[in-house]
Amino acid sequence: MPNRVRDSLRKRSLESQDFDGVLVVRDGRPYDPAWDLWRPVRRWPGILLSAVVTMVLIGVIAFHFEHQVAPPSNFGSNVIHAPLRGAYFPPVPDTAPGVQVFTGNASDNHVAFSSPGGLTTWTFQCRCRSNFAVTVRNALGNIIDVPVNEIGHTRLAATANYLKGSYTFDVLAQGKWKIRLIQESALPLVTTPFKYFSSGTSVLGPFPASSSNVVVDYIAAIGTYTTVQIEDAKNSSQDYFVFADQSGSKTASLPSPPNPFFLVVKSSGIWYVKVS
C-alpha cells in the first residue's frame, strides 16, 4: 500500500532541492543541486570600463594643463632657433696650426704630447663598448688630470689648462677613439652672430671684442651650478658672466672683453649661447 505521507514529504524535499538521503548522480559523478545556485562573477567588464574611464580622464587633464600652464618666468623668452648638439668642437681640420691629434682602437699608455700653455681644449670621441678614460701625467709620471671618464659612446670637450711643457696620457678604451688637443689662440675668429645649443662643457670662440652682445639661457641640474667664464687666449681672465645654481637667462653687452675672447661654459644641464 502506498505511503502517502512519505511520498508527500519526499516531493516537497525535491522541490526545495534539500538533500533527502538519496544520492543524485549526473554524468557518472555525484551531483549536488546547490551547485546550480552558484554562478561565477564576471569582473572583467567592470575592470575594462574603469580603465577606459581613467584613460579618458587623464587625457582631459593633460590637454587642460598643456594649454594652461605658462613657461617658467625665470627662463629666457628668446626663441631658440638652433638644434641641440653635443659638445662644441672647433670646426678646424686636424692639420690646422695648434691642433694635435691622437687616434687608436684600444687602450694605450704613455702617449706623449706638448702643452703650449694658455687656453687649450681637449676634444674626445670614442665608439667604446665600455669604459673610456684618459689620465694625464706630468714629466715626473704623476697624475695631474682625468679629463674624461665615461661609459660607452662618448663625444665630450674639456679644458686643458696645463703649464707649457711635455706630458703624457694613458687611454683606457675598448673601441675606436680620437683625441684632439687644441691651442685656442691659434684658431681663426668665429663669425658672428653665433649661436649654440648644447649641454655639458664647451669652449666657444674666439670672438672679436666688437661682438660683445651675449645671451645665455640655461636650465641647471638639481644641486649643480651653471658657469660661463669670459677668458682670453692666455687663460688669465677669470670673469664670470653666469654663476648660478638654478635655471635662468642673462643678456648683456660686455663692457671691455679681451680681444679676442672665449666663453667657457660648464653645466650639468642644457644651455643656449648667442654672441652678436
Kindly state the cell numbers that stand for 81: 632657433
Cα distance between residue 107 and residue 92, in whole Å: 26
Kindly state the cell numbers that stand for 211: 661682438
Contact 269, 224 (CB under 8 A): yes
* Domain of residue 125, CATH code: 2.60.120.380
Cα distance between residue 264 and residue 203, in whole Å: 5
* Residue that terminates a domain, selected from 159, 184, 209: 184
Please calculate the CA angle 208-212-217 and round it to the nearest 5 degrees: 120
Task: Write down the residue that cell numbers 648683456 correspond to.
Answer: 252
- Same-domain status, 200 and 172: no
* Residue that terminates a domain, selected from 184, 206, 237: 184
Contact 263, 241 (CB under 8 A): yes
Kindly state the cell numbers that stand for 2: 502506498
- Same-domain status, 106 and 129: yes
Q: In total, how many domains does the chain have?
A: 3
Compute φ and ψ for 227, nearest 5 degrees. -125, 145
pLDDT in tens, the chain (276 residues): 555 545 554 555 445 555 555 666 666 677 666 666 656 656 667 777 777 778 777 776 665 554 443 444 444 445 566 788 889 999 999 999 999 999 999 999 999 999 999 999 999 999 988 899 999 999 999 999 999 999 989 999 999 989 999 999 999 999 999 999 999 999 999 999 999 999 999 999 999 999 999 999 998 777 788 999 999 988 877 688 898 887 889 998 998 899 999 999 999 889 999 999
- Same-domain status, 219 and 235: yes
Q: What's the pTM value of the predicted model, to 2 decimals?
A: 0.70
Cα distance between residue 213 and residue 257, in whole Å: 10
Cα distance between residue 253 and residue 211, in whole Å: 9
Cα distance between residue 105 and residue 89, in whole Å: 21
Q: Is residue 126 part of a domain?
A: yes
Compute φ and ψ for 177, nearest 5 degrees. -135, 155
Q: Is residue 141 part of a domain?
A: yes
For residue 16, the enclosing domain spans 4-37
Q: Is residue 60 part of a domain?
A: no
- Same-domain status, 176 and 195: no
Q: Is residue 146 part of a domain?
A: yes
- Same-domain status, 203 and 170: no
- Same-domain status, 194 and 238: yes
Q: Is residue 74 part of a domain?
A: no
pLDDT at residue number 167:
98
- Same-domain status, 202 and 269: yes
pLDDT at residue number 25:
66
- Same-domain status, 179 and 220: no
pLDDT at residue number 39:
60
* Domain of residue 258, CATH code: 2.60.290
- Same-domain status, 128 and 175: yes
Q: Is residue 48 part of a domain?
A: no
232-267 residues labelled b (16+ CB within 10 A) or e (exposed): bbebeeeeebbebeebbbeeeebeebbebbbbbbbb
pLDDT at residue number 52:
73
